[in-house]
Amino acid sequence: MDWTGSFRKAWVVTALTLRYLLTTRRAIATVLLALVPLILTLSLAAARVATFDVMLFQQLMIPLFLQVVLIFVTLVNATALIREEIDDNTLPFLLTRPISKPALVAYKYIGYLVAVLVVLIPPIVVAYGVTEAYGGLAFTTDLDVLGGFLATTILGSATYGALFLFISVLVRRPLAVGLLIGFVWESVVDSIPGDVPKVSVIHYLKTILKDVIAIAINPLGQYRTDVSAGVAAGVLVTVSIALVILAAFVFQQMEFRQKAG
Amino acid sequence: MSISLPTYSRLEIPLLGRRERVWAIIATGLRREFRRPAAIVVIAIGVAFTTITSIVLVLFASFLLPGQPLNLSFFALPASNGFVLFFVSLMAAIIGSGLIADDLHSMAFTLYLSRPITHLDYLLAKAVILAPLVSMITVLPLVITALVAAFLFPLVFSWGVALQAIGLSVAVGLLLALFNTSVALFLSSLTRRKGLAAAGMFGGNFGLFIPASILASAIGNPNLLYLSPWNDYLAVASAAFGAPGIGIDWPGALAILLGVTVLAALVTYLRMKSVEVITG
Amino acid sequence: MLVETAGLTKVFGEVRAVDDLTVKIPDGAIGLVGPNGAGKTTFLRLLLSLVRPTAGTAKVLGRDIEDGVPVRERIGYMPEHDCLIPDMTGVGLVSYMARISGLDRDTAMSRSHDVLQFVGVDEERYRKVAEYSTGMKQKIKLAQAMVHDPQLYVFDEPTTGLDPRGREEMLDLVGTIAKSPGRNVILSSHLLPDVETICKYVVILDGGHQIAAGELSQLLTGATDRLRIDVRGDRDAFVRLLKDAGFDADAGPSGLHVSRKPGLEAAVFETAKSLGAEVRYMGKEIRSLEELFLELVARTEKRGA
Amino acid sequence: MNGVVEAAAVSKWYGEVLGLNAFTASFGKGITGLVGPNGAGKSTLFKLLIGQLHSDQGKITLLGEDPWNNVPLKRRLGYCPEQNQLYGWLTGQQFVETLLRLDGMPAASARTEATAALKVVGLSSAAHRPTRGYSRGMRQRAKLAQALAHHPEILILDEPLSGADPAGRVHILRTISDFAKDGGHVLMSTHVLYEIERVTNNIVLIHNGKAIAAGNIHAIRALIDTHPHAVRIETSKPRQLAQALARMEHVVSFEFPVADTLLVRTRKPDAFYKELPQIVSDTKLDVRGLESPDDSLDAVFRYLVG
């Protein structure tokens, strides 16, 4: 296993994925949606809204950013990694290169993660900055809020990405399945009693926010959870890695036959 | 034994006009949609769910909302049933997203264009396929609820009020149907992958509705509701039925809805005109 | 006159796909050939008024392409790329297209079955198009172009991608259409032997210009006074001996070329006997459309490059 | 085991649809043409050879190795798929260069090798345009460029000529024969039979998932004894020539289809051609033309596959 060779291949696949996800028409849609939180905070500041503070910022960003923007961006990008290349018949060009299928999945996943975070993180950080500046506070006053959102964005992107990648390797039409899981299941699951919410990503994201952010300004103060932030983060990381490995394994066994004819 | 062409007589009958050609696309399109299991399931569940919830609202209204005058304004309730928003998005996503995207993906669009019809005919036909399906969610439940109300409570709701409610429901329902049809076709014409158009429909509807409603209540500035098409629809519906408004005046909301509908249709037309299926 | 154009031009960005093209194409079976990117597909789409010209005018079957819809009523178009609606059945798709061309429902259904019978699609017509083989899909594409009985058929690469048997069947069908009275065919193809078998008149495009046009028979009257010989054995010795015997002979990629002189044939066999070589082919040097094409394109490349 | 490709009773099914059915053959030296009707199994065979499918039964090897999930083997092969879709958003140069770097080549040499490969296939002029705007012929050349850029031992080309114009086909065929001259092996499927005869006489005929015939076209043609070899001769004295030729015992029949023409059928074409010059010059009969109409791949295809 020569390290320089595989590092070079990793870099090439990651760069190829990044370039595809960030420079084609798909990027316009995802970037626009990722900017919505920033536009919202700017319009609030411009409208001189009295009650606009970090509390309202969180009340807005949790349902909008975590449950709509994050899911939409991760879904549209994760399904493009393998399934779209299969549909576009461009996969044979990669598969006839001296690079193993699992490695291809791993490198593409890294490219996805970088692309998604590049799209998601800057707007949310600036939005936070605008909120603090509007309140006349220093950028560092509520670092726990910023930290909480950065952690959930990174872990959310990783886990949702791994989940949608795994689905896209299993199912011929992953976007439809992803929509149902992302928009329907993840938003309904919290209102179900008992341990059912544990089978959703959003539960662990909210747990992290609940523990990380100071109780005084925490809209999720009373969020029903019996796990600590650390454990939640651990769960998300292990689930992400497990799903990527599963996706790689399924991809390894997959056969690519050309349409009959 | 294959009949060779020369003995197979030339067709001398005159061709029908563009109206019949467009109707052919509509009729065939509707028949194809009703044969797709996904479409049937969504329509059935959508209509059933929305109608039942509306009727339940009607039955228990007097307990649930004491002091709610039982006159025309009462019918604003079924019109603002949350399930209408959910199922309209689902319908537009599952049926609408593929209407043009599939033709671009299979390049059948070239076949349509090589026939004696114009881009406008093609788009009109696609719109007339989607609109009735969407209005089965936005109009039908309201009409059924009004009939049930008049039937079950003849004393409370006179037939006059019921008929008026039906008329208004049809108008308001069509407005919402046209809006979603136009936006769904616009998203469908943008890409070959109908999955993205469907995701856009969901992202758009919910992405605007959630923040607008939270924000407006949180900071007490209702003007933000204009940003959410669903809230615009609610403003128009409540005004039509004479119910108390939701904080934004309905002329503005109506203008936004109609404006976006027309704009989306125009951009879709220009986009289809510019689609160059270059095969080199 | 089937097609008349005057200064027809179409520019995409900085690529002049069709450049100031003035042609007069007679009725009948017309071949349209040219290298990749010569502007063939763009030219066909202009005739179908699928795209608006940047400049110039054109008339098809006497009607100006600006009229748009009336022009397309008379044309049957068989595109080069896959374009069928996958989830429709064969007969469903063909009758659908017939109705969009203006036939009523019943006439459309009856004509569809006639046409499917003609192109040789039997009980597969009731299966979904997605399950069809390449050959079957080409037949459906032909059927939808025929069903409204147009005066002009535009075939864009009808035989590409077909196996030899499929290609033979398609050529028979296109040939039968081309030979039937009152029907005109424009056949655009890269497989020039196909064009030779079907068409009488040929237009050769390159870089958006017309570099040659005319009756196929005239264009191909090559040098009949030269003989081509395919020799197995010592070719160089063969050429040397023929030269010694006073014949001007030279060796080319496709065999020896000798200018005809009395007694040549006998000398060839004499030489073959003396060298113990074999003569596998001896015949007049027929110029195929492909050789003419390669010559013309090479000549314009030298000038153009 | 000497063939580049060794297949022993290989079967592959997609549910009920036939892919390959007990396919047995050993071929692959130099340029080999793979011909057969649509759906005969050509693409299935290629997908097995590049390791994108694995056989349900039997064993298949390429260059002596089992292709399924075999990473190092990919360095030794170049594949040109039948579909024409490329990474539309990359230019020709970027497309070949990126794939070369995936072969483990450092950036600098990947760039020069990519430019060289594009020059070989004659695509230098369009190298910096996005492949989205390429015509079918240009896409064929771009695919060929990425297949041969890393100097593999064998090229596996699925319909490399389809969609290319005559000049393009000549160029692609010359590139392929040059590659073979430098010692490379080429395995190419095609429907344009008269094209492949220009570069090779070595074919594998595949039908219903089986290898019906493999080897030299003319040898195969001669073996088809149900259709003895036809030779049409133009001569002013067809009957006398027939008498003269009747001496050869492998000559089976004579026909006089049209004036001044003799159609001879023989079981041993090589022997016939060897003895013909002797007979013609001895009898002093004037023979103006000579051709064998069905000594071609087209005829072989028609006789065997029908």
Q: pLDDT digit string (tens) for D49-66?
A: 999 999 999 999 999 999
pLDDT at A150: 93
Residue D248: HSE in the Cβ half-sphere, 13 Å Cα cutoff: 24
pLDDT over 50 at A260, yes or no: no
Name the interface residues of A facing B (CB cutoff 8 Å). 25-26, 29, 33, 36, 40, 44, 47, 49-52, 56, 59-60, 63-64, 67-69, 72, 75-76, 79, 84, 87, 173-176, 178-179, 183
Question: What are the angstrom distances between the C-alpha of C172 and each of B39, C79, C168, C169, C201?
Answer: 43, 19, 6, 5, 18
Burial of A249 (C-beta count, 10 Å sphere; 0-12/13-18/19+)? middle
Collapsing DSSP to helix, strand or coil, D139 comes out as: helix
User: Please, which pLDDT band fits residue B1 given cuts at 50, 70 and 90?
Assistant: very low
In CATH, which of 3.40.1170.60, 1.20.1440.230, 2.60.40.10, 3.30.70.100 is domain D227-305? 3.30.70.100
d(CA A164, CA B274): 34
CB-based contact, C163 to chain D, within 8 Å: yes
* Interface check A179 vs D, CB under 8 A: no
**Secondary structure of residue C5 in the 3-state scheme:** strand
pLDDT of residue B224: 75
Show the DSSP H helices in chain A as ranges. 3-23, 25-46, 54-61, 70-81, 83-87, 91-95, 101-134, 143-170, 174-179, 186-188, 201-212, 229-253
Beta bridge partners of C29: C185
What is residue D75's predicted lDDT score, i.e. its pLDDT? 93
B118 and C96: CB-CB below 8 Å? no
B279 and D CB contact within 8 Å:
yes
Beta bridge partner(s), residue C283: C228
Q: Give the residue with greater pLDDT, C235 vs D264.
A: D264
Residue B19 has pLDDT above 50, yes or no: yes
Residue B239 tokens, joined = 């005004």
Contacts by residues D141-145 (CB-CB < 8 Å, ≥ 24 positions apart): D141/D168, D141/D171, D141/D172, D142/D86, D142/D92, D142/D95, D142/D96, D142/D118, D143/D80, D143/D81, D143/D84, D143/D86, D144/D80, D144/D172, D144/D175, D145/D92, D145/D96, D145/D114, D145/D117, D145/D118, D145/D120, D145/D121
Stretch 127-186 of chain D: residues touching chain A, C-beta under 8 Å: 146
* Domains in chain C, CATH or no CATH each: 3-216 (3.40.50.300), 223-285 (3.30.70)
Q: For residue D31, list its beta bridge partners.
A: D186
Who wins on pLDDT, C217 or A181? A181
Q: Is D74 on the interface with A (CB under 8 A)?
A: yes
Residue found under tokens 């009980």: C123
State whether C37 and D168 contact (CB < 8 Å).
no
Average pLDDT of chain B to the nearest whole number: 84
Token representation of residue B166: 């039906």
Q: Is the confidence at residue D271, as pLDDT, over 90?
A: no
pLDDT score at B280: 33
Of the CA atoms within 13 Å of residue B219, those in its CB half-sphere come to: 27
Q: Count CB pairs under 8 A between chains B and C.
A: 110
Of the ranges A65-74, A249-258, B25-34, C151-160, which one carries the lowest mean pLDDT score? Answer: A249-258
Position with higher pLDDT, D246 vs B244: D246
CA–CA distance, D219 with D221 (Å, rounded to integer): 5
B173-230 residue pLDDT tens:
999 999 999 999 999 998 888 888 888 888 788 778 877 777 777 767 777 788 888 8
3-state secondary structure of B203: helix
Q: How far is C85 from chain D (nearest CA, A)?
A: 19
Distance from CA of B123 to the nearest CA of C (A): 14
Class of the domain covering D5-222:
alpha beta
Identify the band that residue D78 occupies on the pLDDT scale cut at 50, 70 and 90.
very high
Return d(Cα B9, Cα B4) in angstroms, integer: 10
What is the distance of C-alpha D197 from the center of its chain?
8
Going by their DSSP bridges, the two strands C152-156 and C184-188 should be labelled as: parallel
In this prediction the pTM is 0.83
What are the tokens at D19? Answer: 């892919």
Q: Quick check: D119 contacting B, CB < 8 Å? A: no
Residue spans per domain, chain A: 3-253
Dihedral sign (CA D19, D25, D29, D32): negative
Note whether D54 contacts A98, CB cutoff 8 Å: no
Q: Is B10 in contact with C149 (CB distance < 8 Å)?
A: yes
**Interfacial D residues in 123-142 facing B (CB < 8 Å):** 133-138
Conformation bin of residue D292: beta by default, left when phi > 0, alpha when psi is -120 to 50: beta
* CA–CA gap between residue A207 and residue A66 (Å, rounded): 13
The pLDDT, as a whole number, for residue A5 is 79
Q: What's the mean per-residue pLDDT of chain D?
A: 89
Q: Do B118 and C69 touch (CB under 8 A)?
A: yes
Three-state DSSP class for C52?
A: coil
pLDDT reported for residue C287: 65
Question: Quick one: average pLDDT of C288-302?
Answer: 76
Tell me which amino acid residue A194 is: G
Give B154 to chain C, closest Cα distance, Å: 47
Touching subunits of D (3+ CB pairs, under 8 Å) are A, B, C
- When CB atoms are compared, the residue of A19, A100, A255 closest to D71 is A100
C159, C161, C164, C169: CA torsion to nearest 10? -40
Q: Can you give the pLDDT at residue D50?
A: 93
Query: Which range has the worst mean pLDDT, A246-255, C60-69, C285-294?
Result: C285-294
Which residues lie closer than 8 Å to C104 by C-beta, 6 or more apart? B16, B20
Work out the pLDDT band at B104, boundaries 50, 70, 90.
Answer: very high
For residue B196, the chain A residues in CB contact (below 8 A) are 26, 29, 76, 175
Measured between beta carbons, which residues in chain B are less than 8 angstroms from residue D137? Answer: 280
Both tokens assigned to D202? 């070595």
Q: Which residues contact C107 (CB under 8 A, 6 or more apart)?
A: B11, B13, C98
Which tokens hold the place of D211? 């290898």
| CA–CA–CA angle C131, C135, C138 (5° rounding) | 95
Return the SS3 of A5. Answer: helix
Closest to D203 (Cα-Cα) out of D220, D178, D182: D220
CA-to-CA distance for B200 and B248, rounded, in angstroms?
26
User: Which stretch of B62-76, B95-109, C269-283 has the lowest confidence by average pLDDT?
Assistant: B62-76
Q: What is the distance between the alpha carbons of residues C239 and C255, in angstroms, rounded to a whole number?
A: 11
Question: What's the distance, CA B154 to chain centroid?
Answer: 32
Question: Chain D within 8 Å of A10 (Cβ-Cβ)?
Answer: no
- Look up residue C44 and give its two tokens: 């066909």
Please state, in angstroms and rounded to a whole number, the distance separating the CA atoms of residues C74 and C154. Answer: 11
- Predicted pLDDT of residue C39: 82
Which residues have CB under 8 Å from C171's CB, separation 6+? C159, C194, C197, C198
- Cβ–Cβ under 8 Å, residues C287 and C228: no
Sign of CA dihedral C187, C189, C194, C199: positive
Distance from C-alpha of B26 to C-alpha of C33, rounded to nearest angstrom: 38
Question: Which chains does chain B touch, 3 or more C-beta pairs < 8 A?
Answer: A, C, D
CA angle in degrees (0–180, nearest 5) for C48-C52-C55? 115
8 Å CB contact of A98 and D51: no
- Over range B35-53, report the average pLDDT: 88
pLDDT at B2 over 50: no
Task: Please answer whether residues D280 and C269 qualify as being in contact, where contact means their C-beta atoms are separated by less than 8 angstroms.
Answer: yes
In angstroms, the CA A69 to CA D238 distance is 87
